Amino acid sequence: MLAAILRSYGTPLVIAEIPRPEPRAGEVLVKVCACGVCGSDRFLQKGGFRSTLPIVPGHEASGVVAGGTITAFPVGTRVALYYLRHCGECRYCRTGRENVCASVQRMGVDFNGAMAEYVTLPAANLMPIPSTVDDISAAVVTDSLGTPLHALRVAEVQEGEVVLVIGIGGIGSSAIQIAKLLGARVIAASRSEAAADVAHAMGADDFIHCDVNLPRRVKEMTDGLGADIILQCAPSPEAFAWGAEALATGGRLVIVATALEPVPFNTNRLLWGEQRLCGSRGFTRADVIQALRWVEEGRLNVEHLTRTVLPLARANEALANLDRSDIVRSVLRP
């Protein structure tokens, strides 16, 4: 089968034929229909995850059941893929927190991912796609919607709170939509002026340029109080520092983006403001199922994430598109 392969860090993906994976007991063979390309794929390419190479990236995917263990989903069923192999038995898995399972393995990081014609996954990782949701939308729903939905759950967002989203890419743009759906007031911030159009289209109440003036601007917009919740979706240390300064008393600063370097932080700010600093790691199956339902009901729009569809052979172009402000998401169609 054809796959996009990372053979050494810092080099382009190589498009080549590799053997089709064989499902193990309890696993399903899935023919990949669509795979979104994400900032964390580039983090992987740069060596951030310290994967064992070679590896096939790709963790935001949908497909069709093609064989393996017979489950509730017979061959031909359209499925969204949950990217984490998890044990199902540890205390995290037992409480619906499979995203932090003690023995978690990530598709496209720890085992071969969906930038390929086929993947194998445990049957528990398949989620049926509602009939009115297409394959490409279902793929981007997993990470691009599941991740911000999970982050807003971690933040315990309440109706009427002010949510500041820093970084308006695939994750950030969806965070705006979901925060609005949950009744928040949303301020979007980005270094790219082009992101303003995306932010407003997603329902942001305000847009500000992400620079040293960000804390002052946010406070001006919130009666001097700051944002109740900040979703840090940009990998920049400066953006993290500016965001921390814009956080209200009692606020929650949620780290969503992987940082390429350590970030210095004054912990006294948390103490005096009784604030919380949280990490939000990926998403759970429940997050994806909820997001798929909202897309099916027309309450969330993924059209802006599905405009750029490329064949697998153009995987490197899809990675390069992460730097373009006019493309929110690229999706590969193996």
Residues making contact with Zn ion (CB under 5 A): 38, 40, 86-87, 90, 93, 101, 143
Q: Give me the least distance between CB of 334 and Zn ion, in Å please.
A: 17
**Cβ-based nearer residue to Zn ion, 38 or 80:** 38
Cα separation values, 44 from 93, 168, 177, Å = 25, 20, 27
Half-sphere exposure of 18 (CA within 13 A, CB side): 20
Record the tokens describing residue 233, joined without a space: 């979706």
Quick one: which of 192, 155, 151 has its CA closest to 174?
151
Q: Give me the least distance between CB of 166 and Zn ion, in Å please.
A: 17
DSSP state of 52: P
Tell me if 283 sits within 8 A of 40, measured CB to CB.
no
Strand 118-122 vs strand 27-37: parallel, antiparallel, or unpaired?
antiparallel
**Cβ-based nearer residue to Zn ion, 38 or 300:** 38
Q: Give me the least distance between CB of 296 and Zn ion, in Å please.
A: 22
Record the tokens describing residue 39, joined without a space: 């900032």
**Cβ-based nearer residue to Zn ion, 87 or 181:** 87
Record the tokens describing residue 63, joined without a space: 């497909």
**Cβ-based nearer residue to Zn ion, 62 or 222:** 62
Segment (H or E) for 126: strand 126-128
**Cβ-based nearer residue to Zn ion, 15 or 87:** 87
DSSP state of 243: H
Q: Give me the least distance between CB of 44 and Zn ion, in Å please.
A: 10
Q: Give me the least distance between CB of 327 and Zn ion, in Å please.
A: 16
Q: Give me the least distance between CB of 262 and Zn ion, in Å please.
A: 21
Measured CA to CA, the distance from residue 226 to residue 246 in angstroms comes to 5
Residue indicated by tokens 């997993």: 142
Record the tokens describing residue 278, joined without a space: 């949280």
**Cβ-based nearer residue to Zn ion, 87 or 263:** 87
